[in-house]
Amino acid sequence: MQVKLNEDLGLSRIIAGVMNWGIWGSDLSPEKVNSLIKNCIDLGITTFDHADIYGNYTTEKLFGEALNLGGIDRSQIQIITKCGIKMPCDNRPDIKIKSYNNSGAHIFESVKNSLENLGTDYIDLLLLHRPSPLLDPHVVADAFLRLKNQGKVKHFGVSNFEPVKFNMLYKSVPVITNQIEASVLNLDAFTNGILDNALSRGIKPMAWAPLGGGKLFQKSKDYEFVTQRARLKEVADKYGWTLDEMAYKFLLHHPSQILPVTGSSKIERIKVAVDAVADKITDEQWFEIWSASKGQDVA
């Protein structure tokens, strides 16, 4: 199932996040990444989410090497990548401090590197990874327009933008999505105006860390979190759901049509998200999950 972000771009309802496919996670070989991409496509997942910094600037190249092994039609998949964070690491010895850079020069250099590493002629969707306090919307708009005219990037969006910054940029350039953190463990986007702003503009957002970055399943000595998870598990058990099934259903139910970005490199874990699309929940069930997360009923 695809969701149209605009007239020209459709993304799969579930997006495969690749951050943990490389050295930041499972450290898969190109052959295993190639197989995982094909398995995702078989499940109906055609959209893959990157950022230039993932794997200390190595995961895009890993993905490109996997594509080069063949058996994957580039025109049938959508590649998302992000830029705007400068991160010190061995692969970038010239970077001395972690910072945000939304300048035209940095955007152009990042896209050049991403295209080379991914082994592709174009990026389907480029996101600014974080809003810089020094962001100039006119500079970004100019860079985006030039990249589009050159055919290097087809569409643009942002990530982690609150409404004020989003709207400021939206006035200058057609950004079509906002990738934000949202989950049963992080409800901020439901109340701070981010999702309301998306709805008002007809923007379909994406959600990273839909399972709380794996925290939903991690051992913890934090009493408050342990009790929160116990409340959530009680709701899941009531309906015969696993915790991750419930977490995906919660996000998918929102009227803004949130597109969850999975974080796993295991196809069976990714499949849970796909299966959750078909099994709808009611508004009452959604509020049961909300109340369990908050530890109290709505006022």
Active site residues: 54
Q: Which residue do the tokens 């991160």 mark?
A: 87
99-100 and 85-86 beta bridge pairing: antiparallel
CB atoms within 10 A of CB 286: 14
Tokens of residue 49, six digits: 């989410």
Strands 15-17 and 10-12: unpaired
From CA 289, how far away is CA 236, in angstroms rounded? Answer: 8
Identify which of 142, 225, 235, 158 has the alpha carbon closest to the alpha carbon of residue 197.
Answer: 158
8 A C-beta contact, residue 44 and residue 274? yes
Alpha-carbon distance of 79 to 253, in angstroms, equals 25
